[in-house]
Each structure stands twice: as structure tokens, then as C-alpha cells.
């Protein structure tokens, strides 16, 4: 019996995207309220105010490897920037990739 190979094609410049339980979207830009950072039980939201790149980025990001899908960030965010990936509004779908790329580049 032969072996089957599956080949997946993607853009050569594309970053493979991991499943994102939660995503921080556009309302966080320029706000970085940090309420979500304070309530996260696994410290998966970065950068924190204590990290060196905090002032260099315009928003916060959820680490897809560490997020435990607890929903605490959604409730804490005063600007409604945190969403379950499957509930991201259409106009903010690109933020799932933006969050994933932040961690791919760190």
C-alpha cells in the first residue's frame, strides 16, 4: 500500500498562524490600559509595563501558547479590545495574525 503525502501551499512570506484562543484588536491601539494584564491568571498578555519593549509597541498581545481560554481579559478590558478568535468582528480579523506574529518575532 502506498504512502500519501499532503502538501499545503502558502505564501512564501506568510507566518504560520497558531490557533488563537483570544485576540486583542484595534481598540487597544494607543490605550494599553493593562487591566487585562492584571487579571490574566497565566501572564500571557505582553508586553507588560515592566518589559523593555512596552513603550515601543502601540498595543498589547496575547500569547497563543500560554493563553488558557479563561475569558478574564474580555471582562476586564474597558475598551472592549479582547475577543475570542471566533468572535472577532470582520473588520478586525487581521488582528489574530498580528497577535501571532508578535510572538513569532520575539
Is residue 55 a contact partner of residue 30, using CB atoms and an 8 Å limit?
no
53 Cα distance to chain centroid: 16
The pTM of this model reads 0.80
Report how far residue 47's alpha carbon sits from residue 61's, in angstroms, rounded to the nearest whole number. Answer: 7
Catalogue all structural domains in the chain, each as residue range(s) with its CATH number. 28-104 (3.30.70.20)
3-state secondary structure 24-65: ECHHHCCCCCCHHHHHCCCCCEECCCCCCCHHHCCCCEECCC
Please give the Cα distance from 93 to 50 (Å, whole number): 29
Q: What is the pLDDT of residues 21-67, one digit of tens each?
A: 899 999 999 999 999 999 999 999 999 999 999 999 999 999 999 99
pLDDT at position 46 is: 96
pLDDT (tens digit, 9 = 90+) per residue, 6-31? 333 333 444 444 567 899 999 999 99
Amino acid at each position: 500500500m502506498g504512502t500519501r503525502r499532503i502538501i499545503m501551499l502558502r505564501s512564501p512570506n506568510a507566518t504560520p498562524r497558531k490557533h488563537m484562543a483570544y485576540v486583542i484588536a484595534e481598540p487597544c491601539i494607543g490605550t494599553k490600559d493593562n487591566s487585562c494584564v492584571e487579571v490574566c491568571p497565566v501572564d500571557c498578555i505582553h508586553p507588560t509595563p515592566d518589559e523593555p519593549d512596552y513603550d515601543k509597541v502601540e498595543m498589547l498581545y496575547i500569547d497563543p501558547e500560554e493563553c488558557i481560554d479563561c475569558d478574564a481579559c474580555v471582562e476586564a478590558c474597558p475598551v472592549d479590545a479582547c475577543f475570542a478568535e471566533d468572535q472577532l468582528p470582520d473588520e478586525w480579523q487581521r488582528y489574530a495574525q498580528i497577535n501571532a506574529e508578535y510572538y513569532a518575532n520575539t
